[in-house]
Chains A and B, each alone.
Chain A
């Protein structure tokens, strides 16, 4: 080990990584509307996803009002209720979470974190956003077409999805399928970018095993999404054929209103296979970026290197692979062969192993860390707790014998809201508090942030914990009004009203968050380039917010992994990835 003198930094040769030919905007339109800069596209993605996500949030309030106080709100009838649950689910899972994690965080963070100037195919990246926007517009337009949006449930199971008894049979279902097809086309364009950028545009010294876990999570999730979304594409196209052209891919012979329909012989189960072949990986497409981001938040705010980095990477890859062989655990009640059920229950439970490794590693990262209870850290801790809770009920539901009685009850609703609703949203919010200073140059207001966290976190538990109990009582999901039934005690109705009040309160806290976002943009405390004293490359840009091309004249050079926090003997409690050893040798008070 030879200590290199400090002034050797001046001799660092320019980066040998091939320069991306940057597109420089020539007009106002290409700079602020049809921008090809990944950072700008990320903000476009995030704002669009948040806007449509707000619609889904309002829909959930309407649903809760109906469930908590049935009969009080005359403007919510049974059909509308079904339309609300369908749109709420579809928007939250696909148009909000998938788009935000991959299109939003992926676009912003991948080039910055791997030390690239931009995505490798900026034009395709721009197209990706505009096709996504078109998908969102088509989806939103279903609220205004005759018959309104589809009420088929977010799983869109045939045959009911395209029968006249289901609301939105005229236009709603058609536009929903068209919107999904557009979304998948748009996502594929973006996904190619994320994958190839990680593969080919990493800066010098950035080996795969030096990448922050955020990039690992987003990268693996993108690969999965690229392979899984075609299943939804195929299912959507085939159902569109059934609805519009009278084919019978999924539609069995049916009598509707006394009339024999033209369909015959199709298999609704075929749709379920295709849908869940996409649907289960989708859970991890949302979860893996969350896993990655939360690892970085915990390490940064606990001032400690991530525990078991290698194991974390292997676990991400392992979960990604396993998630393709568990899809039929969503279909235990479809009449499948018992041996199939056994197979899928086994694979489902095996996924718990890499997932548990990740949870242990997060906890062990916190162990004896210098924990700063900043707002991002609070959300990260909230995520771990919520994810463990939601994951444990997943173990119940993964077992066929437990799942069968609980299927289609509120227990399932509570489970998946905990594990893939609240948990990833905690990460999204934590990540926004964490990276907002880089995007805008200003800090979010801390007090409002803490208020936001505590109301959201505690409120989410007040909503979803009691919901498990309702499910155990046997209260079914998707019911507009459960009415007076012998097996449901009056206390269940009181509990439903309580959940509604909690849901509205949590909703109010999100308005405070929105206010904070806008207020801090103008009045927030100036953050400087690296307010969290973090090691990863995005905090080392010459400008904050980073300019077009990210890095000024030369690309950064990476000398170390992403988690050098509290290194013994180092001058500061963090060493940025682009800091060579020489600096520490001279400035550090090494032993």
Chain B
């Protein structure tokens, strides 16, 4: 459970920092505002949708931190045999990076009111994300052809499970991306879609980050780190 504890500690720091900005030591029973003079509510100036996405990303991070926790506990058991990571994953990773770059491009273009740039960025981002998903399916196929079935070893099970969870989140993102692209295509004002494009870009960068962590885990790069964490808690 070290990964999730670590994650919770990070969340606790963020929440603690936020709370420290909120005048929690105020004595509200002594405060009474005259008309026309109010304390700020302390609400952030960011749009609600952006904060909503931020909270959602925290939930998704918690989900993956728990998968990683389960992974690191289960890999300690005697029957664990790591599976060879298909070379294809490196190609897929590259494609996902491209996807993220394309959406960043779209985001920058949206800020400059460059409609064509936005459409190109969104379409390129969407296409490379779909390519990534197809690549993941091919990687699954390669593994099963090579005899690494879902149920034959817990390492395999985790590989399929975690890549599927990540892929499903990307598919959810594609729905949002599709809607944003359709809006831009139909000629919605740039001021209206700018936020949607930015949120898509943030979500893509987040999923790229999650994928890099998962890749490190699945290829065994992070084994040393996991070991250290485990020893810390033991």
Residues of A within 8 A of B (CB): 2, 4, 8-9, 11-13, 17, 120-121, 188, 191-192, 195-196, 199-210, 223, 226-227, 230-231, 233-234, 237-238, 241, 245-249, 262, 264-267, 270, 273-274, 277, 305, 309-310, 313-314, 317, 321, 324-325, 557-561, 563-564, 580-582
Given contacts A208-B23, A581-B33, contact A188 B157 (CB under 8 A): no
Contacts of A580 in B (CB 8 A): 33-35
Beta-carbon nearest neighbor of B51 in chain A: A196
Q: Is the CB of B35 within 8 A of A207?
A: no
Let me know if B29 and A266 touch, CB within 8 A: no
CA gap between A274 and B41 in the complex, in Å: 38
Q: Are B31 and A557 neighbours in the complex by a CB distance under 8 Å?
A: no
| Chain B: minimal CB distance from A5 (Å) | 10
Binary contact readout B33-51 vs A (1 if CB under 8 angstroms, 0 otherwise): 1111011111110001101
Say yes or no: A4 contacts B62, CB within 8 Å: no
CB-CB < 8 A to B39: which residues of A?
205, 207
B1 at the interface (CB under 8 A from A): yes
Considering the chains assembled together, what is the distance between the CA atoms of A205 and B34 in angstroms?
Answer: 11
Do B157 and A249 have beta carbons less than 8 Å apart? Answer: yes
Q: Which 8 A-B pairs have the closest CB atoms?
A: A265-B79, A561-B28, A246-B151, A247-B157, A230-B63, A205-B38, A120-B48, A234-B66
Task: Compute how far the CA of A201 lies from the CA of B157 in the bound complex, rounded to whole angstroms.
Answer: 44
**Given the complex of chains A and B, what is the CA–CA distance between A223 and B154 in angstroms?**
32
Are B67 and A226 interface neighbours, CB within 8 A?
Answer: no
Query: Across the interface, do B59 and A205 meet the contact criterion of CB distance under 8 Å?
Result: no
The reply to whether B41 and A204 contact each other, CB–CB distance below 8 Å, is yes
- Chain A residues whose C-beta falls within 8 Å of the C-beta of B48 in the assembled complex: 120-121, 196, 200-201
CA distance A2 to B32 in the complex (A): 12
- Given known pairs A11-B36, A201-B48, A580-B33, the reply for A277 and B55 (CB within 8 Å) is no
| Residue of chain B at shortest CB distance from A585 | B34
Q: A188-B56, A230-B62, A241-B157 are in contact. List 10 more A-B contacts (CB 8 A).
A: A121-B48, A196-B52, A201-B43, A203-B41, A227-B62, A241-B150, A266-B77, A273-B73, A314-B24, A564-B29
Q: How far in angstroms is the closest Cβ of chain B from A386? A: 29
Q: How far is the CB of B169 from chain A (nearest CB, A)?
A: 12
Complex CA distance for A582 and B34, rounded to whole angstroms: 7
Are B70 and A274 within 8 A (Cβ)?
yes
Residues of A within 8 A of B35 (CB): 4, 8-9, 11-12, 559, 580-582
A324-B29 Cα distance, complex, nearest whole Å: 32
Tell me if B70 and A262 are in contact (CB < 8 A).
no
Listed A/B pairs (8) with beta-carbon separation below 8 Å: A191-B59, A192-B55, A196-B52, A208-B41, A209-B28, A310-B24, A324-B8, A582-B35
The answer to whether B67 touches A234 (Cβ under 8 A) is yes
User: Which of B19, B42, B70, B150 has the most chain A CB within a 10 Å cutoff?
Assistant: B70
Contact A200 B43 (CB under 8 A): yes
What's the Cα separation between A191 and B56 when bound, in Å? 9
Choose from A203, A273, A560 the contact partner of B33 (Cβ within 8 Å).
A560
> Quick check: B67 and A560 within 8 Å, CB to CB?
no
Q: Closest approach, in angstroms, between the C-beta of B177 and any C-beta of chain A?
A: 18
The distance in angstroms between the C-alpha atoms of A9 and B56, with both chains bound, is 41
CB-based contact A245/B36 at 8 Å: no
Q: Are B38 and A557 in contact (CB-based, < 8 A)? A: yes
Provide the bound-state CA to CA distance between A238 and B73, in Å. Answer: 14
Residue of B whose beta carbon sits closest to that of A237? B161
* CB-defined contacts of A195 to chain B, threshold 8 Å: 55
CB of B11 within 8 Å of the partner chain: yes
**Total number of residue pairs linking A and B with CB closer than 8 Å:** 180
A4-B35, A321-B12 known; A206 and B154 CB under 8 Å? no
Nearest residue (CB) in A for B161 is A241
Which residue of chain A has the shortest Cβ distance to B46 in the bound complex?
A: A200
Please indicate the chain B residues that have their CB under 8 angstroms from the CB of A227 in the complex: 8, 11, 58-59, 62
Q: Is the CB of A230 within 8 A of B66?
A: yes
User: Is A207 a contact partner of B26 (Cβ separation < 8 A)?
Assistant: yes
Whole-angstrom distance from the CB of A76 to the nearest CB of chain B? 37
**CB closest chain-A residue, reference B18:** A199
Chain B residues 1 to 33 lying within 8 A of chain A, measured CB to CB, are 1, 4-5, 8, 11-12, 15, 19, 22-29, 31-33
Decide: A207 and B28 in contact? CB cutoff 8 A: yes
User: Do B1 and A273 have beta carbons less than 8 Å apart?
Assistant: yes
User: Is B74's CB within 8 Å of the partner chain A?
Assistant: yes
- Are B70 and A248 neighbours in the complex by a CB distance under 8 Å? no
A188 to B4, CA, bound (A): 19
Do residues A270 and B41 form an inter-chain contact, with CB atoms below 8 A?
Answer: no
- Shortest beta-carbon distance from A330 to chain B in Å: 14
Residues on B with beta carbons closer than 8 Å to the beta carbon of A13 = 36
B78 within 8 A of A: yes
B51 touches A199 (CB 8 A): yes
Cβ-defined contact, A248 with B157, below 8 A: yes
Cβ distance A317 to chain B, nearest Cβ, rounded Å: 7
Tell which of A209, A223, A266 touches B23, judged by Cβ atoms closer than 8 Å: A209
The reply to whether B32 and A560 form a contact with Cβ atoms under 8 Å apart is: yes
Is B29's CB under 8 angstroms from A12's CB?
A: no
A233 CB contacts on chain B under 8 angstroms: 63, 66
Q: Which of B8, B24, B73, B151 contacts A248 (CB 8 A)?
A: B151
B212–chain A nearest beta-carbon distance, Å:
20
Q: Please give, as numbers and ranges, the residues of chain B lying within 8 Å of A120 by CB-CB distance.
A: 48, 52
Return B65 CB to nearest CB of chain A, in Å: 8
- Distance in angstroms from A21 CB to nearest chain B CB is 11
The minimal Cβ–Cβ distance linking A19 to chain B, given in whole angstroms, is 12
How far is B51's CA from A121's CA once the two chains are assembled, in angstroms? 12
Q: Which residue of A lies closest to B25 (CB)?
A: A310
Whole-angstrom CA separation of A325 from B39 in the bound complex: 36
Residues of B contacting A321 with CB < 8 Å?
12, 15
User: Whose C-beta in chain B lies nearest to the C-beta of A564?
Assistant: B29
Contact between A4 and B43 (Cβ–Cβ < 8 Å)? no
**Contact call B74/A267, Cβ cutoff below 8 A:** yes
Q: Quick one: closest B residue to A119, CB to CB?
A: B48
Residue from B19, B26, B27 whose CB has the most chain A CB atoms within 10 Å: B26
Cβ contacts under 8 Å, A248 to chain B: 79, 151, 154, 157
Q: Tell me the smallest distance from the CB of A284 to a CB of chain B, in Å.
A: 14
Contact B38 A305 (CB under 8 A): no
Known A-B contacts A11-B36, A233-B63, A305-B29; A277 and B4 likewise in contact (beta carbons under 8 Å): yes
A267: chain B residues within 8 A (beta carbon): 73-74, 77
Distance (whole angstroms) from the CB of A448 to the closest CB of chain B: 37
CA distance A561 to B28 in the complex (A): 6
Given contact pairs A234-B63, A248-B151, A309-B29, A317 touches B73 in the complex (Cβ within 8 A)? no
Is there an interface contact between A262 and B1, defined as CB atoms closer than 8 Å?
A: no
B29 surroundings in chain A (CB, below 8 A): 305, 309, 561, 563-564
Closest to B22 in A: A208
Q: Is the CB of B154 within 8 A of A247?
A: yes
Residue of B nearest to A234 (CB): B66
A265 to B76, CA, bound (A): 10
